[in-house]
Structure 1
Amino acid sequence: MFEFTWAWVFLLAPLPWLVRALLPPADSGEAALKVSFISELEGLSGRRARVRLPALRQQLPFLLVWALLLLACARPQWLGEPLPMPASGRDLLLAIDVSGSMDYADMRWDDQEISRLGLVKHLMGDFIDGRQGDRVGLILFGSRAYLQSPLTFDRQTVHTWLDEAQINIAGPQTAIGDAIGLAVKRLRERPAESRVLVLVTDGANNGGEIDPLTAARLAAKEQVVIYTIGVGADPEERGVFGLLGFSPDIDLDEPTLTAIADATGGDYFRARNSEELLAIESTLDRLQPVAQKPTLARATQVLYPWPLSLALLLSVLMASQRLWPQQVQRWRHRLTRLRGQA
């Protein structure tokens, strides 16, 4: 089916004539013979002066360019047949902690030390890629919580935005309650049986405006199931940090994370290393999809480049037609002058 996205653009068709009528005529700088008694001549002959046909022919290319530009601006497009979108799946939001403590390299991946956020990117990225049929969204939180990606079937883009997440991009603190509150706001309009939040953090709530348990009760009321994941190695496995007896930021608040999961019907997982996080990913992959209201989408093919290209080509031809004779004449003058000097 053919249609124009912005059909109202055609209302601008009289614009050149309005501009010509409102603005004073341009001064070409050339001498011109003005006949002041044209009206008397028309009265004597009984005929009105008409615009010469060559003048109309000269205007036709400009009119055609203007029509093509209007056509392109109206954004013509061809809509394909309605195609069914996936009718089953979950609405899954990932809330990833990007506070300063997630930068500590107390985890291991392929026998190399890696930061907590780096490990989460590796494994949760694979988890996103495997959520076929699910709408996936991404929340990044630190001192504040921000929606990085709304719920979408475009898992590749969500994966890319997770890979581009930077430490402290949302502030150095940890606002778990705000992240849950933002997730509830985004999930409450989706089918009740499909609302899932996976929250990944390595600390305790020390920022934001909403208490985590209060946010969890709100999530339970809105039937949002929360799976919480606590990231971070045990003190004896923290390498240099463990030897120094240093615990990055504030130690993981496992009781609160467990209470959040229990209040919403989810589970709490502890990820001390890559093997445990892989096992958690496998567990989450077993979430069964649920039936949702089928949706239809149409494949759209934009057609505006065609009239726009024709308008550009015609403009180039018109410009070359005007400039080329002048350039040829200049070359002839130069050749004549060179011959005279010779």
Structure 2
Amino acid sequence: MITFLWPLVFLALPVPFLLRGALKPVPQSAFGALKVPFFGQLQGNGAGAGRKSPQSWLGLALATAIWVLLVAALARPAMVGEAVPLPAEGRDIMMAIDLSGSMGREDFALNGQVSTRLGVVKQTAADFIERRAGDRIGLVLFSDRAYLQAPLTFDRDVVRDLLDQAQVGLTGTETAIGDAIAIAVKRLKDRPNGERVLVLLTDGASNAGAMTPLAAADLAQKLGVKIYTIGVGADRMVVNNGFGQQVVNPSQDLDEATLTQIAKTTGGLYFRATNLDGLADIYRQIDKVEPISDKPLYLHPTVSLFFWPLGFALALAAVFALAYAPLGQLTRRRMEVLQ
């Protein structure tokens, strides 16, 4: 569709005609400013004083067309295409998932069956990633050491696939929480301030790595990274031993105090998940405190067309100058007289 970006410019169209009617003509002297021996020929044979010749009407039409084309070019004509959706700018979220040996403990239920902690984490985290339309998501996995599995990306399907491929004990059986925070912070530090988020999930206490969790939290706070920590694992489980059934706490190694302090230091929150529904609800709470980006923005691609009316105006101006300018008329009439 062709449209004009500055349509109000067309209000200038009648300006030359208004000025012509409002301004008084320059008074002529008795003898004129220039004596031309062949003035009669310049006027045209048989052309009356009060009557315009066809050439005069053609010149007026050319001048009018030139003015209209110039105004049209100034109004910025453009070809506007169909609306193209653009993703709204969202947050940069790194997810750090614990793969230590204890994440293989079967104290959760999934689809009516006993499941490992990591199995439940994969399902709920995948749902969380799916909902974060417009956000860039990255993935850090950690056990004895931490490593970047997926850099920040808009391709949420890739992140979900990489998380689904993760296995317990992939890089050991210990828990390097501090290193996981440090790697995530390194990836987030150059992103826009106020949009840097880390969601860290673990079921134990940090017992490996080069950096302590609290030192890493201080670094995150200085660089403006907000950390939400999640402690997973059932708090009550019945096991069979040689003396019968016994109730135990399978999450007794979880360091809730440190996870709480990490979240507090960086302005985030600590959550405790003891079952599938609780973990899913935690991710929904994070959605609320870190709202999902708005609906996509729409852009209408435009191609400027001002050069077309401007080019035609210049071409007509060249024709007008050659045919109707005083010098051109004088030269043409003089050639006719000499002949």
Superposition TM-score, scaled by structure 1 size: 0.58
Encode CA deviations 1:87-126: one digit per residue, 9 max, x unaligned: 4210000000001000000011122110000000011011
- Rounded to whole Å, the distance in 2 between the matches of 1:257 and 1:243 is 32
Q: Secondary structure at the match of 1:191?
A: coil
Tell me, yes or no, if the aligned pair for 1:89 and 1:290 is still in contact at 8 Å: yes
**What is the aligned-residue RMSD (CA, Å)?**
2.8
Name 1:153's counterpart in structure 2: 154
Within 5 Å, give how 1:15-34 maps onto structure 2. Answer: none
- Structure 1 letter corresponding to 2:184: A
Over 3 Å counting, the alpha-carbon distance change for 1:174 and 1:289 in structure 2 is: same
Percent same amino acid among aligned pairs?
54
Segments of 5+ residues of structure 1 without an aligned counterpart are 1-82, 297-342
Match of 1:259 among 251, 258, 261: 261
Segments of 5+ residues of structure 2 without an aligned counterpart are 1-83, 300-339
Within 5 Å, give how 1:122-201 maps onto structure 2. Answer: 122-201=123-202
- Rounded to whole Å, the distance in 1 between the matches of 2:238 and 2:206 is 22
Name 1:102's counterpart in structure 2: 103
Q: Secondary structure at the match of 1:193?
A: coil
- Rounded to whole Å, the distance in 2 between the matches of 1:155 and 1:209 is 30
- Structure 1 letter corresponding to 2:103: M
Encode CA deviations 1:111-144: one digit per residue, 9 max, x unaligned: 2110000000011011111110000000000010
Greater per-residue helix proportion = 1
Q: Secondary structure at the match of 1:288?
A: coil
Larger-gyration structure (1/2): 2
For this pair of structures, how many residues does the alignment match?
214
Match of 1:273 among 262, 267, 275: 275
- Rounded to whole Å, the distance in 2 between the matches of 1:204 and 1:85 is 42
Q: Secondary structure at the match of 1:173?
A: coil
Tell me, yes or no, if the aligned pair for 2:233 and 2:250 is still in contact at 8 Å: no
User: CA shift at 1:250, angstroms?
Assistant: 6.5
Tell me, yes or no, if the aligned pair for 2:101 and 2:173 is still in contact at 8 Å: yes
- Rounded to whole Å, the distance in 1 between the matches of 2:137 and 2:240 is 37
Encode CA deviations 1:205-249: one digit per residue, 9 max, x unaligned: 000010100000100000100000000001x33545995566669
Tell me, yes or no, if the aligned pair for 1:230 and 1:254 is still in contact at 8 Å: yes
Q: Secondary structure at the match of 1:228?
A: strand
Encode CA deviations 1:258-316: one digit per residue, 9 max, x unaligned: 0000000000000001111111011112222579xx9x9xxxxxxxxxxxxxxxxxxxx
User: CA shift at 1:170, angstroms?
Assistant: 2.0
Tell me, yes or no, if the aligned pair for 2:238 and 2:248 is still in contact at 8 Å: no
Over 3 Å counting, the alpha-carbon distance change for 1:231 and 1:249 in structure 2 is: closer
Superposition TM-score, scaled by structure 2 size: 0.59
- Rounded to whole Å, the distance in 1 between the matches of 2:97 and 2:265 is 20
1:237 counterpart = 2:240: no
